[in-house]
A and B are shown apart, each in its own frame.
Chain A
Amino acid sequence: MKYIYDMHQMMLKNNIILVYEGEFTQEITKSVLAMAERNMDSIGEESGIKRKVFNVMVECLQNIVKHGEEYISGEKQINTAIFMIGKHKDSYIITSGNPIRNDLVENLREKLDMINSLDKEGLKSLYKDIIKSGTGLTEKGGAGLGFVDMARKSGQKLEYGFEPLKGDHSFFSLKTTVPRG
């Protein structure tokens, strides 16, 4: 039974206020958003910060709904991801992790590095370039703007990493920091 205590201690130590592990759907997204909103309301979080956190959470969660991949681990088919929010004195940390296909890793890395190389004005013009490119939504219904928006709303660099999984997948971890005040 000690794992329960350990888990709790780990969450307290990292100031994690919400963890969800499992399948990601639009219904789950709405529930997670509602819980996080209630949590921020209960401590009287400033509305500007709340809006930014909400914004980053939506893009992060809907990214997983759209792009999370199933992969085979041993005998089991796994189609799960993780989403966490940490609340610190000076910031909220929104993190996610999900499997993606290895052949998509380089492209994703380049995209994130490019976004991280831009300043506020650069991000703004990238956003406008993508939205007016007129290519419509991707086959998965995204606008290709999610990461750009997360970088703009947070005003911080997007931190990321890839862990190799068995077979032809990697685990993609993403961390966005929203400063408080």
Chain B
Amino acid sequence: MEIINLEGTEDTPKIILDKTNKIFEISGRSLPEDSAEFYQPILDWLAEYAKDPLPETIFDFKLEYFNTASSKLILDVLTSLEDITNAKVHWYFYEEDEDMEEAGEEFSELVDVEFELMPY
């Protein structure tokens, strides 16, 4: 499968989707002007990956900030993990960032995917 490797910018997150090296990661800031357009390739990639996934998929979320328009798309990304056998989310948050911790808890209640909250 092709690799998605997007450098983070001041308003878009860094994203790596790499089946060969088993890296599935979204990190940084997400407040793009058009969040639906930004996340569409990610959703397409995951739909393709779901057809023939690795035995285990650990998806790392290490977000520093995301806006509300992105939150809807992040939920879409998480929902698409429901279709991947043995997918698991590691939701990283800066230990003093209660809002990011709470966001992880809320997302975990909204989707049927194993979630682990990871303070750092």
Contacts and interface: CB of A to CB of B under 8 A. Distances in A.
Interface of A: 26, 30, 34, 47-48, 51-52, 54-55, 58-59, 62, 65, 124, 127-128, 131-132, 136-137, 141-143, 145-146, 148-149, 153
Interface residues of B, number: 21
A62 B75 CA distance: 20
A52 B99 contact: yes
Q: Is the interface of B mostly helix, strand, loop or mixed?
A: helix
Shortest beta-carbon contacts, A-B, top 6: A145-B68, A26-B33, A143-B72, A143-B68, A149-B68, A58-B67
Nearest to A34: B10
Taking chain A's interface residues, is the majority helix, strand, or loop, or is none over half, making it mixed? helix
Nearest to A137: B36
B99 A145 contact: no
Contacts of A54: 65
Contacts of B65: 51, 54-55, 58
Contact of B99 (A55, A59, A141): A55
A26 B11 contact: yes
B96 interface: yes
Nearest to B64: A51
A62 B34 CA distance: 11
Given A34-B10, A58-B31, A124 B68 contact: no
